[in-house]
Amino acid sequence: MKKHFIVLVLFIIGIILFNVLAKESTLLYGFKDNVQEDKIEYVLKTFDDNGLDPVYNDQLRLDVLRGNSRYYKLTNGEWFNLYIYEDAGLMYDDFHSISEDGYGILDVEYEWVSPPHFYLCGNLLIQYIGTNSEVLEILDELGDEITGR
């Protein structure tokens, strides 16, 4: 009887843990809207806190990935592109389509003017083409670089 009780308790704990982890997993449930906006605000605030004041430019778009893109210019003349994903599966596919050197994306080869850098930050992929050490340090704080070094 005691053995059955222990098995039942462990089973219930397992179900609870699975539900908690599954709800947090972007691969199973996609992204929550507030997580998207929180991450965008976090990225912009991090640049702003470092004196680089990102300014959104809706006139210029460099869409090489399938997420919703937003182009930002920094006060030091550099720029970055945010790709915002509502669908974790699409982000996963785009993430894995980027070649190790960052020059190949979704089976297309690009000739960037500077080394490409792509960072994963929650539901965002951040694209930066450049070598500015200050920008790279900030991006390293924001997420994991997936290519470009």
Q: What is the pLDDT of residues 26-69, one digit of tens each?
A: 443 344 444 466 889 999 999 999 999 999 998 767 788 989 99
Do strands 124-129 and 79-84 pair parallel, antiparallel, or not at all (unpaired)?
Answer: antiparallel
- 6 and 39, same domain (yes or no): no
For residues 23 and 58, state if they share a domain. Answer: no
- In the predicted model, what is the mean pLDDT of residues 120-146? 93
Per-residue model confidence (pLDDT) at position 4: 62
Domain match, 132 and 101 both:
yes
Return the pLDDT at 112. Answer: 92
Say what the pLDDT of residue 17 is: 47
Neighbouring-strand partners of residue 126: 82, 119
13 and 76 housed in the same domain: no
Residues 38, 7 share a domain: no
CB-count burial class (<10 Å; 0-12, 13-18, 19+) for 78: buried
pLDDT tens figures, 79-124: 999 999 988 899 999 989 999 999 999 889 999 999 999 999 988 9
Q: Which domain holds residue 15?
A: 1-29
pLDDT of 78 > 90? The answer is yes
The CA-to-CA distance between both ends of the chain, in Å, stands at 59
**pTM, entire model:** 0.73
Who has greater pLDDT, 136 or 107?
A: 136
